[in-house]
Structure 1
Amino acid sequence: MNGKYYESDYEEALIDLLIQQGWEYTHGGSIARNNKEVLLVDDLSEYLQQRYTDLNASDIEEIINRLRHVSGQTHFELLHNTFYLVRDGFRYTRNQDGKIFDIEFVDFEQQNKNNVYRCVNQFEVGYGLKDDVRIPDVLLFVNGIPLCIFELKNPADANATIADAYDQIHIRYKRDIPHLLRYCPLSCISDATVNNTKLGTTYTPYNHYYAWKKVNNEDEAAKRGIDQVKTIVAGVYEPNRFLEILRDYVYFPDKKYEKEEEIVCRYPQFFATRMLRESVLKAHTANSRKGGTYFGATGCGKTYTMMFLARQLSLRCKELGSPTVVMIVDRDDLQTQAGKLFLRSEEFLSLGAAKIIADREELKRELSIRESGGFFICTIQKFCEQIGELNTRKNIICFSDEAHRTQVRLNTQLKIKDQKEKNEIIEVEGLGAFITKPYAEHLRTAFPNATFVGFSGTPIDETIQVFGEVVDSYTMQQAVEDEITVPLKYIPRIANVTLDSEKVKQIDAYYKQCADEGATAEDIEVSKKAMSAMEVILGDEDRLERLAKDIIEHYTKACENKADVVQKA
């Protein structure tokens, strides 16, 4: 031994870990094949023959050709269409006798009985007219179909980075051997150093590859580089887990949208989805209506967690009988990421139509013409225009995005507003404070038998009262450690403010009126705290001018690049 460590050593170590998880190992040089053929035809033929014993050799050849000759005008379209065929299968009709077979290229139900799991290294892939080759480090095949590509770099070589591994896949392989990558929805880049073993897709931007730091949700996140390698192998590439991720956690937008986007879940999304699914089923069975609360800090990917959960509830929960999902959002959220994402995801959701609802009557009509399915997005404000029941079905699941904003305060509450609204009960001129009915009450009246799930980044007690206990959470500290966001540092700054004595007297008189008309002491205290922190007091012009000068001075001294000024939410 000369003490040197080579990339091939790391390659062998990774293969050993894969073998421990149940993958069969084959060296690419030992496979007899034309190097432009990227399927392991023997494995695929064996699987089809064992799974469908009535198929003959001609049938098998025709089925394999169906996979080889998927159509698509672009590489992305080829990948998209091939993935759907591998995941969902197709109906094959034999010409000779008209016999029908529902062909599945992967057995997702009896995963260990029929499937062939094989890891291969040094697999030469030919391209071009001069018989050039590319040799990916490690490929994972299920039933002879390459479904994940690994590109590794030597941990001992400071000049070999995972950025180079990324470029190898996304630039050189995509250019030279697209006939391999059209089958590969997943990819992994690694140099075995801290936070540098990352999962992505062949259409994931470099900065959206992420480490997978847990095998099970209750585990402590892996911190050392080699531990993170072991964790991703056991947490993603254990064969049953690998198929679970392939089936329900790899996302493409609907084919009618031209955006070239492919997303695979991150580990917090995967575990949160699993736990929320079980919580919803438990609530549905117990008639508690409280499906649970998920708290996710900035960067947790909450919107995709909602989408993964909706697919799970649609396809993997027979007890719900293909539910209808109603997503409740703030008024401003309809045109943001959440609304747009769900509207272009009907194929993935498998719930039928996805639609933004204009008003209560439209929602009532949509719910009345179906007993199952459908994904509807509406604002919480729609439920405050009127009161009353919309639908009594039990298989309605309500997702509340930013639950702390959309459904808080089980009792009547005091709110701060600049303008009057329809549900106003009392108001004092110029103050903009009034008592309203709680949103949660409107929702529970509208859907008396539905199950409610809350998604929030702001933990408050009222959210838990409405939706149930916290099922899972992803903290800001976790997001920082996972390199999804940057740490926040708080430096207190003082900007004194002097109150107008007449305004204070007016406020006190208003709250006395509220108490006389039935508001509770608790509600009045909540509103006082809110008003003391809002523009009624803090909008003083002198104070704002001092703040602006302080921001400019601090920015000039401390900031080198782009800076954002963020106001109170």
Structure 2
Amino acid sequence: MSIDKTPPHIRLDERNHVEKPFLGQLAGLGWKIIDLTDVKQTPAHTGRESFTEVILPAELRRQLRVINPWMEEDQVEEAVKQLTASFPSTNLLENNRHVFHLLLENTSVSENRKTGEKSPTVRFVDFNQRDNNSFVAVCQFKIRVLGTEHHIVPDIVLFVNGLPVVVVECKSPKVHDAIPEAIDQLMRYSEQRGAKGEGSAPLFYYNQFIVATCRQQAKFGTITTRTEKYFYRWADPYPRTVNDLSHGAGSPNDQQRLVAGMLDRDNLLDLIRTFTLFSVNDKGETIKIVGRYQQFRAVKLAVRRLLEGETPRERSGIIWHTQGSGKSLTMMFMVREMYRHATLSHWKVVFVTDRT
């Protein structure tokens, strides 16, 4: 287990110039902040019984009751077990995909005992009513490495209904190659560097994307993104504009843009439900993809035209892409977004491509 040998003044710089602004911006977006910096942690600080737990179990149970008010205590426990104790394998990607499908496709229990309905749907996330969900950011979330006495402490972990959907690694702007170093740290935490016993893969079973930031630069990827080349900026905080962000004489930094664009609570739910998918790349490898800012903005604006336009001309338009910027993914995301709306869900969509 490696020990953090970062000089104290660099750690302080990371704290004051990266972590604190990140948490402050999240608080402004409606997130509950639990800052455990300089706290002698116990599991109880985050409602856990042990540091081996990677979810916030009390939060999950509470929100299950909010979203599914008909559930009784034994049914809540049954649903919790489906998310925490029933994984298809020990493989990180397979288990991540399993959890993703549960979040989107839901689960069921035998009966709604109040109405008699058989096999009623149990939802872990309410994608239609944001305020039925909880959004908690924990700074310095301590987790025990299984089979050892060691712990990892990710800088910031973001929980939706008690599930750790985003992990953020912060680095001081003074660190050389700050973003590559943060990415390497995230790979260590998720045990993807080839060594066992240096991280907590179960934390990443629930992960939807990861973030590496040093404030001026901030990039996101997924558990299958292992090099900086495929980590991307989030340049446009749509539906906000850059002028909506608090900044000095210069432009907002990358971190401000990413937090406003990806971690706005409504946007985050949309990214999970509509703009995330698993695909097979040219090498035959399964990868997890989260849409980029230009795809998110284009789809949202195009669907708004379809919903609000009163004439064919007002409903039509062109989305222009550069080569390699994800045209096919934009089309897929747009169909998904259309099918969320009752007035568009019956439309037949035709894809015309120039590929053989």
What TM-score, normalized by structure 1, do the two folds share?
A: 0.53
Amino acid at match of 2:14: E
Whole-Å Cα distance in 1 between the matches of residues 102 and 277 of structure 2?
A: 14
Q: What does residue 204 of structure 1 align with?
A: 225
| Residue among 51, 76, 82 paired with 2:99 | 82
- Residue type matched to 1:45 in 2? R
**Which residue, 35, 56, 76 being the options, matches 2:72?**
56
CA–CA separation in structure 1 for the residues paired with 2:14 and 2:156? 12
Q: Could you tell me which residue of structure 1 aligns to residue 196 of structure 2?
A: none
Query: Is 2:336 the counterpart of 1:328?
Result: no
Q: CA deviation at 1:124?
A: 1.0
Q: For the structure 1 residues 125 and 226, does the alpha-carbon distance in structure 2 shift closer, same or farther, using more than 3 Å as the test?
A: farther
Does 2:14 align with 1:7? yes
Who is 1:150 aligned against? 168
| RMSD of aligned alpha carbons | 2.7
Letter in 2 for 1:185: Q
Q: Secondary structure at the match of 1:141?
A: strand
Match of 1:475 in 2: none
1:525-536 alignment to 2 at 5 Å? none
SS in 1 for 2:225: coil
Distance 1:12 1:218 in 2: 22
User: Counterpart in 2 of 1:190?
Assistant: 213
Give per-residue Cα distances to partners, 1:496-523, cap 9 Å, x unaligned. xxxxxxxxxxxxxxxxxxxxxxxxxxxx
Give the drift of 1:100: 3.4
Write the distance in 1 (CA, Å) between the matches of 2:185 and 2:207.
14
Q: Deviations over 1:399-431 (max 9, x none)?
A: xxxxxxxxxxxxxxxxxxxxxxxxxxxxxxxxx
Bigger-Rg structure (1/2) = 1
Residue 117 of structure 1 corresponds to 135
Does the 8 Å contact 1:70/1:82 carry over to 2? no
Which residue is 1:544 aligned to?
none
Q: Deviations over 1:56-107 (max 9, x none)?
A: 2211111100011343332111101111112231122149877533111111
Letter paired with 2:160: V
The alpha-carbon distance between structure 1 residues 162 and 286, as it changes in their structure 2 partners (threshold 3 A), is same
Partner of 2:293: 267
> What is the rounded CA distance, in whole Å, between the counterparts of 2:26 and 2:323 in structure 1?
33
Cα 1:288/1:230, change in 2 over 3 Å: closer
Amino acid at match of 1:103: V
Following the alignment from structure 1 to structure 2, what is the Cα–Cα distance between the partners of residues 172 and 100? 38
Displacement of 1:258 in angstroms is 6.3
- The one-letter amino acid paired with 1:316 is R
Q: Quick check: 2:70–2:112 contact (8 Å CA) kept in 1?
A: no
Gaps of 5+ in 2: 1-7, 193-198
DSSP-derived class of the 1:6 partner? helix
- Give the aligned partner of residue 343 of structure 2: 319
When residues 70 and 260 of structure 1 are mapped into structure 2, their CA distance, relative to the original with a 3 A threshold, is farther
Letter in 1 for 2:348: T
Question: 1:70 touches 1:81 (CA, 8 Å); kept in 2?
Answer: no
Gaps of 5+ in 1: 335-569
The one of 102, 111, 114 equivalent to 2:121 is: 102
Residue deviations 1:363-383 (CA, integer Å, cap 9, x gap): xxxxxxxxxxxxxxxxxxxxx
Q: For 1:505-559, what per-residue CA distance to the aligned partner results, in whole angstroms no more than 9, with x for missing partners?
A: xxxxxxxxxxxxxxxxxxxxxxxxxxxxxxxxxxxxxxxxxxxxxxxxxxxxxxx
| Selected match of 1:233 from 259, 283, 302 | 259
Contact 2:242–2:257 (CA<8 Å) still a contact in 1?
A: no
1:301 to 310, 313, 326: 326
Trace 1:356-375 onto structure 2 (pairs within 5 A): none
Give the Cα separation in 2 of the matches to 1:225 and 1:72: 46
If asked which structure has higher relative contact order (CA below 8 Å, sep 6+), I would say 2
* Partner residue, 1:20: 28
The answer to whether structure 1 residue 141 and structure 2 residue 159 are counterparts is yes
Q: 1:310 aligns with which of 332, 335, 344?
A: 335
In 1, distance between residues paired with 2:67 and 2:168?
A: 29
Residue identity in the other structure for 2:83:
L
The 8 Å contact of residues 109 and 122 in structure 2, kept in 1 or not, is answered as: yes
CA contact (8 A) 2:166 2:209 kept: yes
C-alpha offsets along residues 15-41 of structure 1, whole Å, 9 cap, x if unaligned? 111111100011353224311111101
Contact 1:192 1:226 in 2 (8 A): no
Query: Alpha-carbon deviations, 1:474-499, whole Å to 9, x = none?
Result: xxxxxxxxxxxxxxxxxxxxxxxxxx
